[in-house]
Structure 1
C-alpha cells in the first residue's frame, strides 16, 4: 500500500509518501520537511500562532512536492494519514483538515495518527528486516515534550513503565541552552558546545571534569525520570562563578549537563530493560525514538545499556528522529494493514497519551496476532 503522510504538530511542516509491502517492509518514496526555525528563533521557542500560519502557507506545496518526488498522483494512494494530536492544536488542525479534505475528495481512507505512535513505530519502517523490530519491544521515547519508557506490544498497545516527574529531557536541554546563552534550538546547541568542550579539554590533557553535577534518579528501583534538578544545578553553578561565564565555562557546563543527562537516561533505561525482560520477554530489542534520540552521546550510552542487557539496539536514522511525515505515513500504513481507519468526524487533540490508544487497537490482538495480520 502507498500512503500520504502529513505532519504539522509543531514547527515542522512535512509531507511524505511511504509504501508498505505484504511482508511488512517499508520504503520511503518521498519525505519533505520544511523547518520553521528561522521564524521562531527570535522568540527563543515556538510561537503557536506563527507555526499554524506557516503550515497553512506551505502545506499544499509540500504535498505536491512529495507526490512529484515519489512519481505518484492522488490516484496511486491507498490512504491519507495525518497527525491528529498531540501537539499545538492550531497546527494539528491544519494538517488533519487538509488530510480529511483529500480523503473525502478522492474517496480514500483517513487515518488519524497519534504523533507519539509515529515515533514509536519508526524503527519498524527503517529496520532492514521487519523481524528485527517485531513486537514486543522496549521503547525509550525522548523529545522536547516527552520522556517515557514503554512496552510496545502491538499497534495501539503501549504500556508505560516510567515517565518524567517534571521536565522532559528535551525541555531540559532547551532550558539549559537558554541559561548558557547557547542559542536555539537548545538540544543541538548544547551538543555542539559539549563537543567543543571535549576537544579543548583533550588538547589540554584535562581529565577531571570542571563542573560536578548530579545524576538524577540514579539507583532508584522505579523507571521514572527527572531533569528539573539537573537544570537547576547548572543555574547554581553559574551563580557561583565570580565573573560572568566565558565561552569555555559555558561549554564545560553544557558538557557536564549532557554527560549526566545521558547517564541518568542510561540508568533509568537499564532498570526498564531488567523489568521488561522479566515481565514481557528476554532478548527483545531496545528502541529509541524522538528528537533527543539524535544526540550522539545519548545514543552511545543506550547502545551500551542494550548490549549489557542482551538486547539489540535499534535507533532510526538521525533525520527520522526529529518530526517528519514519513513516520506518520508509516503509522498510517501499519494501522490500515490492520483495518484501522477513522471517520472524517475525528476531532484533533492537543493532548493524546499513548495509553489512550488501547481503544483504537484491534480487539484482542496482541503482538502475535498483529504480526500474523501484518504478514
Structure 2
C-alpha cells in the first residue's frame, strides 16, 4: 500500500493564522487562530497583524500536526500563501514555510490566495460533490470581489472584479456607520434576517456587466443615516434591523445580477461561491434559490472553508504536488498578484 501524501498548508495573508494537513484530498486538520486585537481599531492594523502571526504560527502548526496525528517527518510537502495579502503577514508565513521545508528537505509549494478559495470546493467533504469544469466562481471577501470562469484547476479566466471596494468592506463599513462592532459582517447578517429587506431602497451601482463597485453604496448608506438621524436621533436604534436587511438585499441582488450576466454570456450554469462573505446567509440562500428557480448547479462551501483557512491552501498544495509543480527558495511573497491567464496557482 502506497504511503499517504501529507501536505501541510499555511495561510497568513491577513489577520488569521492557519495551518492544515491534507492527505489524498481528505482534510485531517484545519486550525485557525483569529486575531482579536483589531476589534478595538475597527479594522485590521497590518503591523499588529504581522506581530500576531509571529506569535501564533508555531502553536498553530503544532496543533495541526497533533490533530492530524502525524509528525513533521511524515510531511510530503509544505504549501503556503505567497499572495495576495498584507505584506508583513505574508512574510511570516512565507519565511516559516521556507525554513521548515528546508529543514525537512521536502518540496515547497506556493499558492495564490484567491485561486485557493475557488479550489476549496475540491476538498473531500462527505455529502458534497465538487463542480465539474467549466464553472463560474464568485470569490467574495473583505479584500476581494471577483467573478471567474474556471476552465481547469490551472486555467482560470478573470471575467470581472470590483473597481473600488470589496463587498466585505462594504458590509463592515456600513456596519461601522450603524455603530456595529468590527467585523460588522456577521452581526449585520444576523440583524438583517430579522428585518424587512424592502423597507428602504438603496441604489445598485452601474458599472460593466461583470464588474463590481461598492464605494457608492457605502456612501449612500452614510448619507441615508446622516439625513434620517438629523430628523430623528433614535433612527438607527429604531430601524437597524430594517436598514441591515435593506442594505443586504441590495448587495445580494446586485451580486446575483452579475452572476446572471456571466451565466447568460458564457452558457455555463455551474456556479460556485467562495471567500469569507460566502458565509453570508442571504447569499447562500440566493444560491439555493437559483438552483431551483434558474436551474443552476450551485456549489456552496462548508463554513470552515469560507473564511481564510489553510485547508484550501493544502488542497492546492496537493494538486500542485501531484504535478511536481514546486517553488524555489528564491520565491518572494507579493502583496498584489494579478489574476492573469494562464497563470500558476
TM-score band, normalised by shorter chain: over 0.9
SS at match of 1:349: coil
Please name the residue that 2:214 is paired with: 227
How far has the Cα of 1:19 moved from its partner?
Answer: 1.5
Structure 1 runs of 4+ aligned residues shifted over 4 Å read: 126-131, 306-309
Instruction: Show CA shifts across 1:75-97 (max 9, x none).
Output: 21111001111111111010011
Work out the CA distance in 1 between the residues paired with 2:279 and 2:208. 27
- Structure 1 stretch 109-118 or stretch 296-305: which is displaced more? 296-305
How far has the Cα of 1:221 moved from its partner?
Answer: 6.9
Work out the CA distance in 2 between the residues paired with 1:158 and 1:31. 26
1:101 aligns with 2:99: yes
Please name the residue that 2:34 is paired with: 35
Please name the residue that 1:167 is paired with: 165
Please name the residue that 2:243 is paired with: 253
How far has the Cα of 1:157 moved from its partner?
Answer: 1.7
Please name the residue that 1:298 is paired with: 283
1:240 aligns with 2:238: no
Work out the CA distance in 2 between the residues paired with 1:170 and 1:50. 21
Please name the residue that 1:319 is paired with: 304
1:350 aligns with 2:340: no
Q: Does the 8 Å contact 1:156/1:354 carry over to 2?
A: no
Work out the CA distance in 1 between the residues paired with 2:164 and 2:219. 12
Please name the residue that 1:367 is paired with: none
How far has the Cα of 1:194 moved from its partner?
Answer: 1.1
Q: Does the 8 Å contact 1:79/1:103 carry over to 2?
A: yes
Gapped regions of structure 2 (runs ≥ 5): none
How far has the Cα of 1:335 moved from its partner?
Answer: 1.1
Counting only pairs closer than 5 Å after superposition, residues 1-20 of structure 1 correspond to structure 2 as 1-20=5-24
Of 340, 345, 367, which residue of structure 1 is paired with 2:325? 340
How far has the Cα of 1:298 moved from its partner?
Answer: 0.9
How far has the Cα of 1:216 moved from its partner?
Answer: 3.1
Work out the CA distance in 2 between the residues paired with 1:304 and 1:276. 20
Of 251, 256, 262, which residue of structure 2 is paired with 1:266? 256
Please name the residue that 2:138 is paired with: 140
SS at match of 2:217: helix
- Structure 1 stretch 144-153 or stretch 155-164: which is displaced more? 155-164
SS at match of 2:194: helix
Please name the residue that 2:199 is paired with: 210
Instruction: Show CA shifts across 1:33-58 (max 9, x none).
Output: 0100x211110000111111111011
Aligned residues: 338
Of 273, 297, 302, which residue of structure 2 is paired with 1:288? 273
Work out the CA distance in 1 between the residues paired with 2:287 and 2:162. 17
SS at match of 2:239: helix
Work out the CA distance in 1 between the residues paired with 2:344 and 2:215. 34
| TM-score in terms of structure 2 length | 0.93
SS at match of 1:133: coil
Q: Does the 8 Å contact 2:146/2:161 carry over to 1?
A: yes
Cα–Cα, structure 1 residues 130 and 346, in superposed 2: closer, same or farther, change >3 Å? Answer: farther
Work out the CA distance in 1 between the residues paired with 2:53 and 2:208. 44
Gapped regions of structure 1 (runs ≥ 5): 21-25, 199-207, 362-375
SS at match of 1:347: coil
Work out the CA distance in 1 between the residues paired with 2:152 and 2:177. 40
How far has the Cα of 1:16 moved from its partner?
Answer: 0.6
Please name the residue that 1:275 is paired with: 265
Work out the CA distance in 1 between the residues paired with 2:321 and 2:127. 20
Q: Does the 8 Å contact 1:124/1:134 carry over to 2?
A: no
Q: Does the 8 Å contact 1:126/1:316 carry over to 2?
A: no
1:197 aligns with 2:195: yes
How far has the Cα of 1:323 moved from its partner?
Answer: 0.5
What RMSD, in angstroms, separates the aligned Cα atoms of the two structures? Answer: 1.9
